[in-house]
Structure 1
Amino acid sequence: MDLTDEEIRDLCPDAVFERGRTYLEEGRIERISRFDDELTAVVAGSRRYDVRVDPSSPESARCSCPYDGPGTCKHVVAVLLRWMANPPTDERDRIDAVLERADPDALRAFLREELASDVGLRDRFLARFDGSTTRSVAEFRAEIDRLFEETNPDYAVVFDPIDFDEYLELAASHREQGRYDSAAAVHRALIESLDDHMELVDGSYDHFTRAFTTALDGYVDCVAASDGEPAADEDATADGDIEDAAAFLEDRAASGTPFLANRFERAAAELRDRAE
């Protein structure tokens, strides 16, 4: 995972690279850690931003900042330069060693406490070990809607990006287990909420558009992969029937955000093509 200055420069415009280097020199990286191949960091800018990046594939880095220019942002650049100059210790071996010697009952009690207080972790835990989601599209949708309401409560617009990774990772976890109906439920909730709030976005357009595209593509893939089989729990999942899912997308094309209409129409057509 060796990186060079030139490889990092290639990820962004020169001005962004220089700002990232300045951030590093100013000590703006408040926390950085490494687990296996992934770095996680908190970088102070106009506010604190969360960065996640794998130095072996830095083009897929994620940052919670509102940057919507070409390439990656200055916060990611700062973290990669920090990695290049002084890589943090990989905590994987230490965690593995602690898990090996931990008392099973104490470990179970710790996990129960964390699951009780962290709904997102609880969802991922259940997706990994128990089966289909226990929450409906409407419940996921209400939770995502609240993120929009809380981001800028004093104005009827959204200036800053919203981190949807928790939901995208939950959907990915369901997909890995072959639970496509549950994954589709999460994707559909994101699609609906983003569609209904997109005209309020007054900045970070690329961020919200990427999230919408990821959710829409994921929904199409999951509905197609389910092969039209009904969900195990109809109230907890999205449409299992391909025709119903295509109709949902077409309805959104007609009634939702105008500049997203073509995307919905293409997604509906793709879903029907896959069904043939």
Structure 2
Amino acid sequence: MAIATLPRLTEAQIRKLATEQSFQRGDRYYRQGRILNPMRQDLVLWADCQGSELYQPRIKLGKQGVVSADCTCPYDWGGLCKHQIALLLAYVHQPDTFHVIPPLSEMLATRSREDLIELVELMVQRYPSLLSLVELSTAQPQPGKALDLSIYRRQAQRALRQEDMEAIATDLQLLIDTAKQLFQQNNWLWAGALYQMLLAEITASYDDNLQAIDYDGDVCVVAQDAAEGLGKCLAQAQSLDAETRAIWLHTLLDAVLQDIELGGIDFAYSARDALLEWATDAEWEWIEDRVRGEIQRSSSNRWTRDALVRLLADRQKQQGSNETASKLIHELGSPEQQAFLLVEEGKIETAMAIARQHFTHLPGLMLQFADALIAAHATTQAVELVAHLAQQEKSRGHYQQWLTKYYQEYGDPQTALNWQQQIFWESPSLEGYKQLQDLGQKAEAWEQLRDEILQKLQRNKQLLLLTHIAFYEQNIERVLELFPQLKQWEQSRFRQPLAKAIETTHPQMAIALYKHLATQAIEQKNRPAYREAVQHLQRIKAVCESCNTQSDWTEYIMQLRSQYPTLRALHDELSKAKL
């Protein structure tokens, strides 16, 4: 492909792809000549980049610019790394230095079988990890031959021992793709065997350490694919022997129990659905025995017990046995599950007694219980329960918010306003003030209430909140009155918006505020801060021009330049902005 037909990029576009720090470092790497052996194959760029060691950045381009990028460095803090930035800058400024090579299919088309084998051997000698890919290619199932599952198992175990999450997920995905291919070829028996092996290996390996580095859930996604695939194979398994069915179902159950053990992180979540749907009644007997054993062992863990009991109850509901499901909850369920079930059964007083005894210390759960009472038309009991809890010291804000929302929804704005006032004075804030305004206007009581609030805040010397409110109400004169009374750290959050608001009404004060902001930024002594300072300086210049005091601006900017003679980056930014 000719250079002229390649996507065009600019430094400005590249800058948007990285943090400012990464861009500056990548720019420095490019200018220092650290990009070595740059190559282009169709729309893919790569090179060696000399950093603390030799790294290999790789960039794939498209019509809209960068499509994907990776690098052998450990950078993972957002945007492109400095090595990728250096590579892109080399592409923008020195495209002719890139060695253009044809696609692999063209390069190898004329090579003999012996040549290709020799090439693969050389590659494996240099990069031993490639041997696993070669072995995997030989394990592809052939018509009439059994699947050598041991090869795939070694691949899965090798993948899970790695420390790089992207490499783990990529290697496991290759095995998932093979299983999908087998299923698409209607070879669901071997597909199921591969899915089962993968799910079993991932479940056995997914401990706290692996979970800690799987912060994007990449391995969980692979486990989900394996569980979903295994469920599809079970759906085709009318002639599957009992022993294999048991192995598959045990693996699905192990994944479900692992997810519960991990706290419900949606690890292979479709395993639960497959287990409930495809286990026969006879198979469910041993599944239930095992789950009951887990319930006994986890009696002190409320969440785990709830999840296990819910699994058994959901099976009975799925089979149309709602009465049996209810009996299970009454027999094995936690107090919370029993209380919610009693509400559904209309046994309100018994349910409330359990709630008061067991979970008044859990406001979130108690409010869910109140919602359940509302749904069961036990409205009076729900409101009385929450109102009582709202008078207690602990967590009363949660209950006050529930009551405010309840009275809003049920058309009593004045009572909602009363509860919202309690919330506000517990922790006064601008957001709370806005909520009071909304409710006060609905209750047609806002004008008087507003005066009372502002007077009380003034008596309590809550000047910072009063300033926020004045800004919110666009009362700039009040802001100007309050601003000098604020502490220095409190003033800092208002300087810029205040300066902008008073450019025409109080230009000299606006200039003074902008000067303070510019000086603060310059003193940080880094280029992003200099750019911020330039923005403040541009406002000073504009205000001076509007007031016909250009001479003041000229004197100030000359003084500023002379004050910082050695800050080259600052002078560079000033020159760029024509200041």
Q: Which TM-score tier does this pair reach, normalised by the shorter chain?
A: 0.5 to 0.7
Confirm whether residue 82 of structure 1 aligns to residue 90 of structure 2: yes
- Aligned residue number for residue 16 of structure 1: 22
Please tell me whether the aligned partners of residues 59 and 72 of structure 1 are also in contact (alpha carbons under 8 angstroms). no
Confirm whether residue 35 of structure 1 aligns to residue 35 of structure 2: no
- What is the identity, as a one-letter code, of the residue corresponding to 2:112? D
Deviation at 1:114, TM superposition (A): 5.0
- Aligned residue number for residue 61 of structure 2: 55
Deviation at 1:77, TM superposition (A): 1.7
User: What SS does the corresponding residue of 1:76 show, helix, strand or coil?
Assistant: helix
- Aligned residue number for residue 228 of structure 1: 233
Select the structure with the greater relative contact order (CA < 8 A; seq sep ≥ 6).
Answer: 1
- Aligned residue number for residue 216 of structure 1: 220
- Aligned residue number for residue 154 of structure 1: none
Q: Distance in 2 between matches of 1:217 and 1:125?
A: 24
Larger relative helix fraction:
2
Deviation at 1:216, TM superposition (A): 1.8
- Aligned residue number for residue 92 of structure 1: 102
Confirm whether residue 119 of structure 1 aligns to residue 123 of structure 2: no
Task: List runs of 5+ in structure 1 lacking aligned partners.
Answer: 149-159, 232-238
Q: Distance in 1 between matches of 2:37 and 2:168?
A: 22
Deviation at 1:169, TM superposition (A): 5.9
Please tell me whether the aligned partners of residues 38 and 99 of structure 2 are also in contact (alpha carbons under 8 angstroms). no
Q: Distance in 2 between matches of 1:138 and 1:113?
A: 26
User: What SS does the corresponding residue of 1:263 show, helix, strand or coil?
Assistant: coil
Deviation at 1:2, TM superposition (A): 2.9
Confirm whether residue 143 of structure 1 aligns to residue 155 of structure 2: no
Q: Which moved more, 1:66-75 or 1:132-141?
A: 132-141
Query: How many correspondences in the alignment?
Result: 243
User: What SS does the corresponding residue of 1:53 show, helix, strand or coil?
Assistant: strand
Please tell me whether the aligned partners of residues 56 and 71 of structure 2 are also in contact (alpha carbons under 8 angstroms). yes
Using a 3 Å threshold, how does the CA distance of structure 1 residues 188 and 102 change in structure 2: closer, same or farther?
same
Question: 2:171 pairs with 167, 170, 182, which one?
Answer: 167
Please tell me whether the aligned partners of residues 64 and 163 of structure 1 are also in contact (alpha carbons under 8 angstroms). no
Please tell me whether the aligned partners of residues 37 and 54 of structure 1 are also in contact (alpha carbons under 8 angstroms). yes
Using a 3 Å threshold, how does the CA distance of structure 1 residues 111 and 141 change in structure 2: closer, same or farther?
closer
User: What SS does the corresponding residue of 2:109 show, helix, strand or coil?
Assistant: helix
- What is the identity, as a one-letter code, of the residue corresponding to 1:228? C
- What is the identity, as a one-letter code, of the residue corresponding to 1:218? V
- Aligned residue number for residue 269 of structure 2: 268
- What is the identity, as a one-letter code, of the residue corresponding to 1:107? L
- Aligned residue number for residue 81 of structure 2: 73
Alignment deviations for residues 204-263 of structure 1 (CA, whole Å, 9 cap, x no partner): x5xx423xx2222133224424513499xxxxxxx994x5554333332344xx5xx442
Please tell me whether the aligned partners of residues 41 and 52 of structure 1 are also in contact (alpha carbons under 8 angstroms). yes
- Aligned residue number for residue 155 of structure 1: none
Question: 1:25 pairs with 5, 22, 31, which one?
Answer: 31
- Aligned residue number for residue 11 of structure 2: 5
Fraction of identical pairs, as percent: 21
Deviation at 1:37, TM superposition (A): 3.1
Larger gyration radius, structure 1 or structure 2: 2
Q: Distance in 1 between matches of 2:71 and 2:196?
A: 25
Please tell me whether the aligned partners of residues 223 and 240 of structure 1 are also in contact (alpha carbons under 8 angstroms). no
Q: Distance in 2 between matches of 1:184 and 1:75?
A: 41
Deviation at 1:147, TM superposition (A): 3.7
User: What SS does the corresponding residue of 2:265 show, helix, strand or coil?
Assistant: helix
Deviation at 1:75, TM superposition (A): 2.0
Using a 3 Å threshold, how does the CA distance of structure 1 residues 162 and 104 change in structure 2: closer, same or farther?
closer
User: What SS does the corresponding residue of 1:55 show, helix, strand or coil?
Assistant: strand
- Aligned residue number for residue 235 of structure 1: none
Task: List runs of 5+ in structure 2 lacking aligned partners.
Answer: 1-6, 184-190, 238-245, 278-579
User: What SS does the corresponding residue of 1:61 show, helix, strand or coil?
Assistant: strand
Q: Which moved more, 1:179-188 or 1:41-50?
A: 179-188
Using a 3 Å threshold, how does the CA distance of structure 1 residues 92 and 176 change in structure 2: closer, same or farther?
farther
Deviation at 1:8, TM superposition (A): 1.8
